[in-house]
Structure formats: structure tokens, C-alpha cells
Chains A and B, each alone.
Chain A
Amino acid sequence: MDILSGLMHGFAVALEPANLLWCFVGVVLGTVVGVMPGLGPPATIAMLLPLTFLMNPAGAMIMLAGIYYGAKYGGSTTSILLNVPGESASVVTCLDGYAMARKGRAGAALGIAAIASFVAGTVGVIGLMLVAPPLAKVALAFSAPEYFSLMALGLAMVVLLAGRSMLKALLAMLVGLWISGIGTDPFSTTSRFTFGQLELLSGIDFVVVAIGVFALGEVLACMEGRGESGSLPVPKGLRNLLPTLQDLKDCRFAFVQGSVLGFLIGVLPGAGSTIASFISYGVEKAVSRRPEEFGKGAVEGVAAPEGANNSETGGALVPLLTLGIPGSGTTAVLLAALVLWGFKPGPLFISENPNLFWGLVASMYIGNVMLLVLNLPLVPLFAQVLRTPGYVLYPVILGISIVGVYSVSGSLFDVSLVVAFGVLGYLMRKLDYPAAPLILGLVLGGGMERALRQSLMMSQGDLAILATRPICAAMLALAVLILLIPLFNKLNAWRLQVLE
């Protein structure tokens, strides 16, 4: 079925009233789930599975997909307003989004996030529609060495997240790497750094660290203040309630780059939206004319990662629907759902189930529009959340964080961990250690170590494998270049000084 007729067919399916309803339910539910830290799409979809047997498969799939990308929209809300990452990929949005909120521009941040998400989500669907099968083949060329270099590239971004002290940023990153190594080593089943605790055997969940360091750390920092209401400045005036035209202009490149990068990285099974948002953020900062603004409330710093983590959903569906290979936690549950309904996702899935595939694609367009329509007008409303007096707001943040963490694993141990990380986050804030590199190290460390060891296993211990494979070598070269950027900057500054 060629693309145009497939799409027409798909819209016919997606615009059926029942399916439209499911789409709406899905995106709303997804937004709510995304706002809640900890509770994520995989668990929600799993909980709804029994219900889906009562619906037709197309409608069910449409709803579940709606939850998937709806959650990405929702995740940015709490990140921006409260510095609580609602979803692992929203961590990067916290950086500039929350900074914007502190400057009174929460509304603009929320609006840009919504717009970027819409653009990127649409790009992601277009990508899924047009290039899915050929892209899947390219994705297969990616294996351990390429993943290693991708992660190395991501880690090289630490250079761009450094802030004032490169030394402290590197140290934070190393601590993140260490935390990612806590648990059972899959290759040798040795337990590492578990201090004899059963609960640490599978490592520390990323959500626990992120919520602890960002949300709790922030609350503790605010507790220092002496009892003023301490709430964030409420955006006043239309200029701050919604993004301005200037903002939109500034974000042009971010929209494009976030969408494309997010989609491509999403296609790779195993590379998730967190990596996508970090790399997109890093790239945006690297090409920006005002990199010092990043971290202090640069609009592009919100647009790029938000875009990336939305188009990643489109990308992650590529390996799922073209090869039956799940690329992330949520797509793994979607795969299970498809299997439970009696489908067999694999290379022949699209050609044998055109209704489902095209219906899904069409509904994703519709869903994205729905989300934009839902979210934009709500932005000023959400911004009013900041009016809540501190003594109500902060306990609420604490409560949401605790419940969120508990909902992931049902373990009080994790709750105590989150408190410990909150203290760590507070200390890092006071001692001027940037939190982003820690998260970066945590997210990428495990994957990078695995990829390196897999690569060396493939090559019998020969490191040259990293240099002989073209994609891998190219990315490593890029990583090295990025690492040298500070050097260039220093040389440049020195050169300018000398010339004076």
C-alpha cells in the first residue's frame, strides 16, 4: 500500500468517533501520567491492558500510543514549574525551564515546550510514516561499538554543561558513572557496590536519583529562606504568560534539530529519550550564539530537549513496528500488548496489518494536535500554580515525589534513597557542583560500560574495532572535537588578548 493511500485509509480509521474518543482519552491520561513523577507510561499501559480487551485493537493501540506521547507533553509541566522531572526525559527541561520560571517566565517556558513538542511529535510521525522500513535497516547496522561512541558523544556533552567549574562538572559526572554501576554486573553476575543490600542488586533507579537531586534538593535549598512565602514570581502580563514571537524566532533551529535528532536516536533500540534530550540540548548550546544563557533560562534550552523527547516516540515505534524489536520500556509494554491481542509484530507486521499501522499513524497526527490545543490554553492556568504559598507548595512537592518514587517500585528503601539523594542534591547546590553532569553520567554510564565490553568481546579485546567501523569512528571523532571546544575557547580568548 503506498503512502498516500495508506494515509487516507488511516485517517478514515482514526476519524471514526470511537477511535477519536480513545485518542482523546489516551492523550489526556498520558498528560496526567507525565505530570506525575515516577508513574510512567509503561506502568499505566500495563494497568490498562485488561481493559483493552474490550476495545477493538486499533482503538486500543491508538489510546496506548496517546498515553505514550501524551506523557512526554505532561512531563515538562512539573519540570518547569517545580523542578520535579515528571518523566526521566524531562530532566533536561528542568535545567532551563525551571530557570525561566524563576525569572518569571514560566508561561513562556510552558508554551515553548508545548509548541516544540507539537512540532517534534509531528515530525516524528512523518518520519515513522515515510522512512520507517529503510531506517530500520540502517538501525540494524548499529551495534555495540556504535552505541559506545554514541554514549561517549553524549558524555562529551558534559563539557557543554559545565558551568563555571569544569573540574566539578567532571567529578559530578564520575559520581554519576559510579552510581550507574551499582548493582549486578550482567556479564559476570558479580554484585558491585551493593553494600550487602538486596534492594541494590538491580541498581538505583534513575527516577529515584533524578527526583532526589532535583526536586528534593531544590526544596531543601528553599528551606533555607527565612519563612517568606518563598513562592516563585508569578508571570505577569501576556508577554510572560505565553512565548513571544522573539522566543519563537530564537527557537527555529531548536525545533528542527530537536525533532530530527530525537527521531533518529529514538530509532536505535536501546537509546532512549533521555539521551536524545541531552544530546539535543548539547547541540543547541554548541551552535547557539549565546551559550552563556543556557542553564539560566534560554528558551532554546527548553525547546530542543522537549522536541527531542517527543519525536523520540515516533522514532521508538519504528523498530517496534518494522522489526518487532522494542526500543524502550514503553515500547516493550506495547509489544506485549500487541502479542496479547494476538498480533505478531515483526517485519511483516505493517504489510499484513495496514489498518492498524496507518490508523495509528493518522491518530498520532490527530493526537498531537489535540495535545497542542489542550496544553496551550492551559499554560496560563498552570502558571498560577506558582501562586501557592511556599508552605503548601513545598510539602506538596515532597509528597508528590515520595508517592511517585514509591509507585515505581513499591519499596520504602527507594523512598529513603530519594531522601538521601535529596540531601546530596542540596549539598551539590551549596558546593556549586552542577547536577546535570551527574544525571548524564548516571544515564549513560551503564549503557556505555555495557557497550564497551560488548565491543571488546566482539573484537576479542582489540580496541581497534572502535576505529575501524565508520559510524563508530565518526562519532568518536565528533566526541573528541567537542571535548576540545573549551580548549578552542581558551585559545581564542588568549589570541584576542594577545592581539589587543
Chain B
Amino acid sequence: MKLRIVSAAAALAALGGLHLPAQGQGFKPSRTVEAVVHTGPGGGSDVLARAVALMMEKEKLLPVRMQVVNKPGGNGAVAAAYLAEKKGDQNTIGFFTGVWLTGPLTSAEAKVTLRDLTPIARLVLEPAVIAVKADAPYKSLQDFVAAAKKSPGQLKQSGGSVTSRDNIVRQLLQKHTGAQWAYISFPGGGERIAALLGGHVNMMVIEPAEAGEHIRAGNMRVLAQVTEKRLSGFPNVPTLKEAGFDIPAVPQVRGVVAPPGIPKENVAYWEDVFQKLTKTASWQKFLADNQFEDGYQDAVGLTKFYDEFTGRMRGILQEAGVKLVR
């Protein structure tokens, strides 16, 4: 009797197993995967996406190729809108960065938020360091802040737009210490570095990979790291908290999203693929080369992070005097 029940159950299970693939359990991309990025060729997201595509091929994580599709414009708004339009498309993913999160807060035309899309995973956190020119008189962040306090508004920092991480760090520091210094936007990373090296600004927040060579050549000095714990490349530089500034280390995030309206199995598939990616040796090397932090979170974690992050951003941006539209 037991045997018959078991074998009947086994037969049912086998039948059930035969049916399941049709429901998407065995989802695999059926054609070349489109990876949408919001920068043009050579931009941060573009480079990341191409690196990921290469690693996917090398580690054979996908049965098909991955191709990068550039949809620049509107600081990510165009790419986000493009993904939203591809509702239900199972062979498209997008690589997002922080601007996809802050864009909708400040720009009326950027209507698509991460919540409107399908979050898949958070991949990396890009830390930053605070750097000054090598011949500057500041040996520590305290020195800089003290100097800023003595002459409010005289010292200058170069960085990206007012909603970029560079300015967020500045706002947090200013609020925490009461010091005040000017912020000058340069659209290109190269120009920001040139401004610092040319002596036109006093300080900048810069990614460790960008700063690496200049530090090695002796042109730049790092005062502090914007991270929770020390990076391997900078064992002797204090983190913000260690330096005495108890402010959150605002990360620059990058991750993966998919168009809205795709089945749960697909999300699980993508999550799985990317999780496998983060465990490979090539990924570890990639992180080390670029001095990124492994910030892997699955879809649920990403959604939570998104809510918390945007909430925090709203507060910070409002205090910074930036007009919010949402």
C-alpha cells in the first residue's frame, strides 16, 4: 500500500515535473541579452556592462551572448524609460547606478523609478576617497575642515553635479562640522582631476581607481576614505568614522534591473546568474582591479536598500537646497 502511494506520488511528481518547464521554471534567455546602460561608450556603466558581458562569456554563465545597448540621455532617465517600455521582455536587463535613484527626485521628466522596474540585484558599491594635491598643507581631514572653518566659503571642492555623491559627502560634512566651502561642478572626471592638480580647487572626492596612479606618482594625497571599513589599497588612511566624522559613508551603487512585468521565475534566474558571477574568480579580480566593494544584494535586499537610500537622499538634498519634485 505504502509502495503504491509512493509510486503514485512519484508518478505525479514526474508528470508535474514534465509540466513545469512550460510555466517558466526552466527559463533561459532565448536570444542575445540586451544590457541597457545610460552612458555612452566609455562611460562608467558602459565599461561595467562590457566587463560583465566578457566575464559571463568566460565563465559560461549564460547560454547566449550579452550585448551592451547605449541609451544615453537625461542622466539615466532615457534608459529607465526605455526599460519601462520593454514591459514583459525577457531578454533585456539594465545596469543602473545612483543617478537612476536620485534622478526622479529632482527631475520632473524622469518618471521611471527603480520601483517601477523589476529590481534584480545590487552588484557593487563604489567607495571614494578624499584627496588633495600633494603639496597642500592639509595632512588630515581635520586640517582641511579646520582651514575651511577659518575661512568659510574660500576653499573649493571639485565634483560632479549637485546631486552627485561628491556633493552629498560635502553636505554631510558641512552639516556635521559647521564648516563651509564652495563646490564647483565639472561634468567630466578628467576635468575635476585637472582642476585639483592645477591648483584651482583644494579638495575633491574621487574614486580610488582614478586616484591610484596620481597617488603613486606623488601628485595627490588622500586624507580619508568614504567607506565603512578600510580598503585594501589604502591600509593607512582612516575612514570617515575613524577620522572622527560620524557620518554615513555614502556609496555609489551599481546593480541590475529588468523591465517590469516579468515572471518571478525569471527574476530568480537572473538573481542566480548574478550571484554566481559574484562568486567567480574573474569577478573578484575585477573588484580588486577597480577597487570596488562587493555590494551584492538580491532583489529583496535591493528593494529595501532603494527605499532607505531614497529616503535619506530626500533629506540630504532638501537640506542642500536642491528643489525636489517628488
* Interface residues, chain A, with chain B CB atoms under 8 Å away: 42-43, 45-47, 49-50, 53, 139-144, 184, 186-191, 194, 196-199, 201-202, 269-270, 319, 323-327, 329, 332-336, 339-340, 342, 344-349, 409-411, 450, 454, 457-458, 460
Q: Is the CB of A198 within 8 A of B183?
A: no
Q: Which residue of A lies closest to B154 (CB)?
A: A460
In the assembled complex, B182 has its CB within 8 A of some CB on chain A: yes
Q: Is the CB of A194 within 8 A of B109?
A: yes
Which residues of the other chain, A, contact B24 by a CB distance below 8 angstroms? none
Could you write out 21 A-B pairs with CB less than 8 Å apart? A43-B40, A140-B194, A144-B195, A187-B162, A188-B162, A196-B109, A198-B109, A202-B73, A269-B194, A319-B194, A323-B193, A324-B210, A324-B213, A325-B190, A333-B41, A347-B217, A348-B213, A410-B69, A454-B186, A458-B182, A458-B200
In the assembled complex, B81 has its CB within 8 A of some CB on chain A: yes
A144 to B182, alpha carbons, bound, how many Å? 15
CB of A446 to closest CB in B, whole Å? 9
A238 to B32, alpha carbons, bound, how many Å? 52
Which residues of the other chain, A, contact B156 by a CB distance below 8 angstroms? 457-458
A323 to B190, alpha carbons, bound, how many Å? 9
A186 to B192, alpha carbons, bound, how many Å? 14
Which residues of the other chain, A, contact B106 by a CB distance below 8 angstroms? 189
A244 to B212, alpha carbons, bound, how many Å? 53
Contact of A457 among B47, B184, B197 (CB under 8 A): B184
In the assembled complex, B21 has its CB within 8 A of some CB on chain A: no
Q: Is the CB of B41 within 8 A of A46?
A: yes
Query: Beta-carbon contacts of B68-96 to A below 8 Å, as 1s and 0s?
Result: 11111111011001000000000000000
Q: Is the CB of B71 within 8 A of A410?
A: yes
In the assembled complex, B42 has its CB within 8 A of some CB on chain A: yes
Given A201-B74, A346-B216, A409-B72, A186 contacting B187 (CB threshold 8 A): yes
A188 to B324, alpha carbons, bound, how many Å? 11
Which residues of the other chain, B, contact A325 by a CB distance below 8 angstroms? 190-191, 193-194
Q: Is the CB of B78 within 8 A of A202?
A: yes
Query: Beta-carbon contacts of B206-221 to A below 8 Å, as 1s and 0s?
Result: 0001101110110100
CB of A262 to closest CB in B, whole Å? 19
Given A142-B198, A191-B108, A327-B190, A50 contacting B184 (CB threshold 8 A): no
Sort A-B residue pairs by CB-CB distance and give the 4 closest, nearest first: A346-B213, A46-B41, A201-B74, A333-B42
CB of A146 to closest CB in B, whole Å? 10
CB of A466 to closest CB in B, whole Å? 14
In the assembled complex, B323 has its CB within 8 A of some CB on chain A: yes
Given A323-B193, A342-B289, A346-B213, A184 contacting B185 (CB threshold 8 A): no
Given A53-B54, A197-B109, A346-B214, A189 contacting B322 (CB threshold 8 A): yes
Which of A42, A187, A325, A349 is most buried by chain B, counting CB atoms within 10 A of its CB? A325
A4 to B70, alpha carbons, bound, how many Å? 43
Q: Is the CB of B47 within 8 A of A336?
A: yes
A160 to B275, alpha carbons, bound, how many Å? 61
A53 to B71, alpha carbons, bound, how many Å? 25
CB of B107 to closest CB in A, whole Å? 6
A47 to B162, alpha carbons, bound, how many Å? 32
Q: Is the CB of B213 within 8 A of A347?
A: yes
Which of B50, B74, B193, B219 is most buried by chain A, counting CB atoms within 10 A of its CB? B74
CB of B230 to closest CB in A, whole Å? 21
In the assembled complex, B64 has its CB within 8 A of some CB on chain A: no
Q: Is the CB of A143 within 8 A of B42?
A: no
Which residues of the other chain, B, contact A340 by a CB distance below 8 angstroms? 47, 50-51
A184 to B325, alpha carbons, bound, how many Å? 14
Which of A196, A326, A332, A410 is most buried by chain B, counting CB atoms within 10 A of its CB? A332
In the assembled complex, B166 has its CB within 8 A of some CB on chain A: no
CB of B278 to closest CB in A, whole Å? 19
Q: Is the CB of A269 within 8 A of B188?
A: yes
Contact of B42 among A53, A191, A201, A335 (CB under 8 A): A335
CB of A275 to closest CB in B, whole Å? 15
Which residues of the other chain, A, contact B40 by a CB distance below 8 angstroms? 42-43, 329
| Residues of B14-67 whose CB lies within 8 A of A | 40-43, 46-47, 50-51, 53-54
Which residues of the other chain, A, contact B163 by a CB distance below 8 angstroms? 189
Which residues of the other chain, B, contact A188 by a CB distance below 8 angstroms? 162, 322
Given A53-B54, A186-B161, A189-B162, A270 contacting B191 (CB threshold 8 A): yes
A348 to B289, alpha carbons, bound, how many Å? 17
A159 to B145, alpha carbons, bound, how many Å? 48
| Residues of B143-194 whose CB lies within 8 A of A | 153-154, 156, 160-163, 182-188, 190-191, 193-194
Q: Is the CB of B73 within 8 A of A323?
A: no
Q: Which residue of A lies closest to B289 (CB)?
A: A342
In the assembled complex, B110 has its CB within 8 A of some CB on chain A: yes
Q: Which residue of A lies closest to B42 (CB)?
A: A333
CB of A471 to closest CB in B, whole Å? 12
Q: Which residue of B lies closest to A270 (CB)?
A: B191
Q: Is the CB of A323 within 8 A of B161?
A: no
Q: Which residue of A lies closest to B193 (CB)?
A: A325
A334 to B185, alpha carbons, bound, how many Å? 24
Which residues of the other chain, A, contact B78 by a CB distance below 8 angstroms? 198-199, 201-202, 411
Which residues of the other chain, A, contact B75 by a CB distance below 8 angstroms? 184, 201-202
- Give me 13 other A-B pairs in contact (C-beta within 8 A), A198-B111, A324-B210, A411-B78 excluded: A42-B41, A184-B75, A188-B162, A190-B323, A196-B108, A198-B74, A202-B78, A325-B193, A326-B188, A348-B213, A409-B72, A410-B69, A458-B156
